[in-house]
Amino acid sequence: MMGSPRARLVFSRATKYKDIEVSKISVIGNGCRRQQVEGAMKKVLIVLGQLTDQDIDWLVGVGEKHPYKQGEALVDEGRVITNLYIILSGKLEVTTQGVKVAEVGSGEIVGELSYLDSRPPNASVIATEDAFVFAVSRDRLESKMRIDTGFAARFYRALGILLADRLRTTTSQLATGSARILDLEVEQAGEISPEIMDSLDLAGARFDRMLKELQR
């Protein structure tokens, strides 16, 4: 018996919102259904797809957009971080003990592991070009979760799906013996489970609206 068709994300040309440039994503799913979604990468789409419009409005209201110059550190290895980050534009490299292990860019989530276990990060994240980052403080998130259990459930489910996706990617790369540096923004297809696919269109629209709100 054949399994359910899986959706794929295909990254194409970029769209620019003033000083923030993001990729255009095609969502390809059942029966080769194809739709254009304005947004960043699948990481942020997975997260936003689990939240509500009210959740997004709250995040925009309490978060802050910060510019980072080339060479400036977003995260320092071994130093406690107090924010959860969404990269809006630009490229950053991830290093461990001075060795480059990954590249991240628009749509990537940074700091989720430290948020979950409250431990200092085991890697540094440094801008390799000018970048814009959206930051939401741990204190704000925890205060929100104490009074809004629905938000807490949706947020932790989003992080769980995000980490599961990342683990699957890492496992696949290890299985193929890939020794190359991880490029989390390469223009290649990424599989998405059918149950998550339906939320991607809405998530793309939410991210589009989020970017416009941040430009005001």
Residue 96 token pair: 């461990």
H or E, element range at 101: strand 99-105
Question: Tell me, what's the pLDDT at 5?
Answer: 43
130 in Cβ contact with 66 (< 8 Å): no
Q: Which residue has the tokens 């990060």?
A: 121
Cα dihedral across residues 93, 58, 194, 205: positive or negative = negative
pTM for the whole thing?
0.73
Give the Cα separation of 166 and 136 in Å (integer).
21
- pLDDT tens digits along 106-148: 888 899 888 888 899 999 999 999 999 999 999 999 999 999 9
User: Per-residue pLDDT for 38 more than 60?
Assistant: no
Residue pair 67/214 in contact by the 8 Å Cβ criterion:
no
b or e along 61-89 (b: 16 or more beta carbons within 10 Å of the residue's beta carbon)? eebebeebeeeeebbebeeebebbbbbbb
Q: The tokens of 170 are what?
A: 């890492």
Domains of the chain as residue ranges with CATH: 7-214 (2.60.120.10)
